[in-house]
A and B are shown apart, each in its own frame.
Chain A
């Protein structure tokens, strides 16, 4: 009995980690709407953002169901405070320039795609179904972000410098994707989600291949930030949530 209860708690946590990461990245990418360097990229970024928000609805919707306290995806997205968020630190990094936004997207996509592939084999059919649906969208995200990282890395001197500096800046936030804690281990043992470390070989292979084609220098492994998955965030997330949640906070349950 207590084991089953613990697993539900772990499952809720695990689903929030997935859903919060897609939510926060989706919101970050949507901040480009109307500001991207060219119209075509503006629409492409908005599409990616919308895909991620759609996936958020599925992950957080399921999280609310598992929790069983009557919270739906909206309640989880708009009525939790910063310490309740379980997203990776990488996705809350500010957009910076277009190069930083793209590099962040690529480093995340390169993890997201194999992660969803593994989740398709989840022992929980609800998770497998969401992963299969999201996987088709993310395959395109990865194709696009990898392609642009290569083009800009292997582009002009200016674009190369910007991409290298984006990579160096974001690299210390990549380790968290592959770090396991008790929640991850419980879910992996139960066959519900893959062990974070099991994604590393595919992530590294993808990242190494793309960065070398982009003529970018992969930083040394070095110090890695952690804590996002447990609710310890950088100062940036609170500011982002203030914008994102403002309407539901000021006018709860507003409809129009």
Chain B
């Protein structure tokens, strides 16, 4: 039965002010049930204040085989990383 239900990607907002984060996926017959299942599967330990569900097939992903051309060029552009500043201690973690 499970294999006939479409797959959904689940996003949970941990607390107000934070972004929704991808937490995993599950099967459900429709969006409403996906929200219910997400509540039961992913918020059992008080993890969330808001749930988004997205049909997995609505997500367009970058192709792993293009990893090189997509991401490697930025590796060489160190000047894009703000690593040349001395950060005062009192600023704390950034």
Contact = CB atoms under 8 A, between A and B. Distances in A.
Interface of A: 37-40, 43-44, 47, 140, 144, 147, 151
Given A37-B2, A44-B37, A147-B32, 7 more contacts: A38-B1, A38-B2, A39-B2, A40-B26, A40-B28, A40-B40, A140-B39
Contact of A43 (B1, B5, B28, B41): B41
A44 to B, nearest CB: 4
A147 B26 CA distance: 19
A43 B2 contact: no
Interface string B1-37: 1100100000000000000000000111100110011
Contacts of B26: 39-40
A199 to B, nearest CB: 26
Contacts of A39: 2, 26-27, 41
Contacts of B33: 147, 151
Contact of B27 (A40, A47, A144, A147): A40
Contacts, number: 32
A135 to B, nearest CB: 17
The 10 closest A-B pairs by CB, nearest first: A44-B40, A40-B37, A38-B2, A43-B41, A43-B40, A47-B40, A40-B26, A37-B1, A40-B41, A38-B1
Nearest to B43: A47
B29 to A, nearest CB: 8
A43 B29 CA distance: 16
B44 interface: yes
A151 B33 CA distance: 10
Interface in B38-91: 39-41, 44
A144 to B, nearest CB: 6
Nearest to A37: B1
A137 B40 CA distance: 12
Given A40-B26, A144-B36, A47 B5 contact: no
Nearest to B40: A44
Contacts of A38: 1-2, 5, 27
Nearest to B5: A38
A29 to B, nearest CB: 13
A210 B29 CA distance: 20
The listed residue with most B CB atoms (<10 A of its CB), out of A37, A38, A39, A40, is A40
Nearest to A44: B40
B43 to A, nearest CB: 10
Contacts of A47: 40, 44
A44 B27 contact: no
B82 to A, nearest CB: 43
B40 to A, nearest CB: 4
A39 B38 CA distance: 12
A140 B40 CA distance: 11
A147 B36 contact: yes
A44 B2 contact: no
B68 to A, nearest CB: 37
Contacts of B2: 37-39
B28 to A, nearest CB: 7
A38 B37 CA distance: 11
